[in-house]
């Protein structure tokens, strides 16, 4: 399995004690699979993704990327990962091209120039190579983050709200890119509130609420579940039923 999450939990220390953001979460994502991670605000999606990316340390359980434990063998695990966060955090004094070069150096990318050029074309960033993030729109900055994630051959892609700030053409391109990467053999975990995107792109869906996994399966599997059979014919209706908002 490309991603293996085993009894993962994450707590935060607060002024009044501790807060459990994610509790006993287990799931797997195989190569070529696109798994949608959905849930209401505060469900623990971003905490899960950030922990999978190596930003947060799990409080309990294990996260493995291509069998490499993220805590025990972080460098090998991170080499296989690409995380595209919802907020484009870029170095304000590095140009678009320099960001790609930096990533290429960190992850040892062969044929950097060719890959970078193709990617800049694909994401419509051609002509912006010498621009600093401050000179770009939010959507453009989001594309740079995605380009940094895709410039290397990561086997595992983590997307947190990948369409935020993109224009309709960008959204369409992004959808095609995600599907193409999965077909090329990447394991993809995608968190989004855009349920129609999840339904359209993902091969499987995990629904979280208040830090726990409350549903996991393909859309057909969820739709045929006894307790959800009457919910309706869309992911949105299933989501509302599962989270108790219908």
Partner 1 sequence: MFAASFYIIVCSFRNRLWVRLRRLRQPRYLLGAIAGIAYFYFTVFARLRGGRTANPRLRGGGPSVPAPTTQAMLMAGGLQVAGLALLVLAALAWVFPAKSSLLEFTEPEMQFLFPAPVSRRALLVYRILRSQIGLLFAAAVSALFVPSANIAARLRFAASMWVLFVTIRLYFAGVTLARARLAGSTGAARRLAWAPLAVIVAALGIVGTALVRVFMTHRMDGINDVLAGLGTALGAGWPQLILLPFVALARPQLTAGLAPFLAALAGSASVMVAVTLWVLRSDAAFQDAAVASAERRAERKASGGSAPKARATGWTLALSGPAENVFLWKNAMQMLRHTSGLTLFRYVVPLVLAAAGLTTAMMSGDRGRGGAAAFCLMAIGIAGFAALLGPQIVRTDLRDDLRHLEVLKTWPLRPAAVIRGEMLWNGLLITGIVWIALICAAIFSAAAFPRLSMLWRLSLALTALLLAPALVFGQLTVHNATAVLFPAWVPLGNARPRGLDMMGQRLLMLAGVLITLAVFMLPGVIVGGALWFAFSRFIGAAVLVPGAAICLGIVAIEVLAITEALGPAYERLDLTGIERAE
Compare residues 97 and 124 and give the one whose CB is closer to partner 1: 97
User: Under a CB-based contact definition with an 8 Å cutoff, are residues 88 and 138 in contact?
Assistant: yes
Compare residues 91 and 185 and give the one whose CB is closer to partner 1: 91
The least CB distance from residue 71 to partner 1, in Å, is: 8
Q: Vertex 20, ends 72 and 196: CA angle to 5°?
A: 90
Site string for partner 1, 84-113 (x = CB under 8 A): -x---x-xxxxx--x--xx-xxxxxx--x-
Compare residues 108 and 230 and give the one whose CB is closer to partner 1: 108
Verify binding: residue 114, partner 1, rule CB under 8 A: no
Verify binding: residue 171, partner 1, rule CB under 8 A: no
Compare residues 92 and 227 and give the one whose CB is closer to partner 1: 92
SS3 161: coil
Tokens of 150: 């895709």
The least CB distance from residue 215 to partner 1, in Å, is: 27
The least CB distance from residue 240 to partner 1, in Å, is: 29
Verify binding: residue 169, partner 1, rule CB under 8 A: no
Compare residues 14 and 230 and give the one whose CB is closer to partner 1: 14
Distance CA 195, CA 124 (A): 26
Site string for partner 1, 148-167 (x = CB under 8 A): --------------------
Residues 117-146 that bind partner 1 (CB under 8 A): 130-135
Size of interface with partner 1, in residues (CB under 8 A): 41
The least CB distance from residue 90 to partner 1, in Å, is: 8
68: CB partners within 8 A, 6+ apart: 76, 77, 80
Other beta carbons within 10 angstroms of residue 77's beta carbon come to 22
Strands 204-209 and 212-217 come out as antiparallel
Compare residues 85 and 170 and give the one whose CB is closer to partner 1: 85
187-203 core/surface letters (b: 16 or more CB in 10 A; e: else) = bbbbbbebbebbbebbb
Residues 16-55 that bind partner 1 (CB under 8 A): 50, 53-55
**Burial group, residue 105, by CB count within 10 angstroms (0-12, 13-18, 19+):** exposed
> Starting at the edge strand that comes first in sequence, how are the strands of the sheet with 34-38 ordered?
81-84, 156-160, 187-191, 34-38, 204-209, 212-217
């Amino acid at each position: 399995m490309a991603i293996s999450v085993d009894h993962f939990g994450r707590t935060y220390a607060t002024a009044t004690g501790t807060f459990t953001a994610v509790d006993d979460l287990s799931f797997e994502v195989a190569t070529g699979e696109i798994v949608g991670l959905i849930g209401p605000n505060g469900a623990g999606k971003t905490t899960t993704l950030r922990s999978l990316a190596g930003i947060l340390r799990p409080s309990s359980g294990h996260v493995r990327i291509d069998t490499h434990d993220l805590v025990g063998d972080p460098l090998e695990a991170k080499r296989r990962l690409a995380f595209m966060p919802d907020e484009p955090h870029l170095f304000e004094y590095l140009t678009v091209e320099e960001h790609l070069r930096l990533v290429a150096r960190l992850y040892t990318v062969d044929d950097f120039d060719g890959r970078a050029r193709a990617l800049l074309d694909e994401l419509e960033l051609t002509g912006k190579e010498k621009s600093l993030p401050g000179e770009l729109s939010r959507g453009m900055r989001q594309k740079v983050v995605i380009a940094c994630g895709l410039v290397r051959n990561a086997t595992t892609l983590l997307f947190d709200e990948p369409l935020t700030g993109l224009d309709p053409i960008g959204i369409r391109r992004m959808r095609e890119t995600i599907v193409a990467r999965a077909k090329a053999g990447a394991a993809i975990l995608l968190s989004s509130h855009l349920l129609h995107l999840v339904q359209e792109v993902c091969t499987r869906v995990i629904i979280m609420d208040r830090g726990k996994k409350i549903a996991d399966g393909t859309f057909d599997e969820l739709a045929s579940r006894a307790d959800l059979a009457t919910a309706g014919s869309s992911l949105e209706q299933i989501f509302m039923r599962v989270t108790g908002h219908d």
